[in-house]
Structure 1
């Protein structure tokens, strides 16, 4: 179990670094060209890795053909994610973008896990989403500087 937790943390580090890199590139060349380069380089890397691995087995090919068409929507969503992130990050900052993306993921996760039935963790998940939304709201309010004792 600890290895999965460490892999999830590593994934989070990779996502954070990717967002920052794509955000910087997006501020120079635009959101959609950034998304194009991100996916072109990813495609090239995956193609090279596939060339180095053994060929697909008949079972894998059968699985690919039997998967529902909606299963392949992840690529479209990925392109939109990179493009939107590259557009937003330079304008509102890395931390705020990350918190907003995580809050969107939390809301989506709660909705996908809900299935119309309450579970023992549903209330905790909703409370987590509420805390994230409250944190976003509080972080956008300007902080008033404290009055100095010397000026009183």
Structure 2
């Protein structure tokens, strides 16, 4: 039961983090800077947990260095998730952002399971898992609805943002698998978490430095954009990131990637619907229609088939 609750909480944290970082990006007039603040806060929180649990910040880097190069990429996946989600949320809305994120997770999760990528357990493709994938695709169509009626002024290029959101979903599954392996090698889930945060911060700083040198300061902060009023809660995306990464490492070790993914999806779906319905943190409200409810229900059934069969 505790694992189930943790999985739902982790899933809910994803769209909340996206909403928080989107607001912070408007405050800072930058898409990249919120990722840095997110990773810094998450690093501080994880470091505090390590000090409480083991009395120091020791990480077995020598042991980890013997693993394949991809063991370090969980943080880079975090960069992709944070930055792409900030770009996509204003264009797609919370529910559609969650749906395409889920679609990316499902497709990449099936691939990782079938081929045992990142030294994960091999779970071959079955007919029921294929049916589940079809149901998830059908739910995407149902929940997405008519883009023209959803956001007519933003319909142009909308598929580009759907693709970016899909890639962010792929990054979610890859991060779970990679950090799960990292947690085993490091011997403690929070060691894997802080490594992921450090690599994510370094990746974000590398992108910022590259753009600063090649395109100038305007590529980092756009002074032409309106600057919204600041609130303390805009800076708390790192708490969500800590919950997502640390929680998924624990879930992967306890339940495996499949069940961790389904619980993430349930939480993401629930939070996405609530955010759209309530206009949480200033996100434009969107009605919860019967079509969306049916589509989300079908998506849950499909993801259950994929995860358990």
TM bracket, shorter-chain basis: 0.7 to 0.9
Q: Which is worse superposed, 97-106 or 130-139? A: 130-139
Give the secondary structure class of the aligned counterpart of 1:31: coil
Name the CA distance, whole Å, in 2 between partners of 1:137 and 1:80: 24
Stretches (4+) displaced over 4 A: 116-119
Contact 1:103 1:133 in 2 (8 A): yes
The alignment partner of 2:133 has SS state of helix
Q: What secondary structure sits across from 2:73 in the alignment?
A: helix
5+ unaligned residues in a row in structure 1: which ranges? Answer: 144-152
Report how many residues are paired. Answer: 140
Partner residue of 2:126 out of 122, 130, 147:
122
**Which residue matches 1:22?**
21
Q: Which has the higher contact order (CA 8 A, sep 6+)?
A: 2
Report the 3-state secondary structure (helix = DSSP H, G, I; strand = E; otherwise coil) of the residue aligned with 1:43: helix
Cα distance per residue 1:23-77 (max 9 Å; x no partner)? 332344332122122112212222333344423679x455333332211111111
Does the C-alpha gap of structure 1 residues 122 and 31 become closer, same or farther in structure 2, counting only changes over 3 Å? farther
How well do the aligned residues superpose, as a CA RMSD in angstroms? 2.7
Give the match for residue 37 of structure 1.
37
**Contact 1:23-1:89 at 8 Å conserved across structures:** yes
TM-score, normalization: structure 1?
0.75
**CA–CA distance in 2 between the matches of 1:21 and 1:102?**
20
Shift of 1:105: 0.4
> Any stretches of 5+ residues in structure 2 without a counterpart?
117-121, 150-309
Q: TM-score, normalised by structure 2?
A: 0.40
Q: 1:83 to 1:118 in 2, by over 3 A?
A: closer
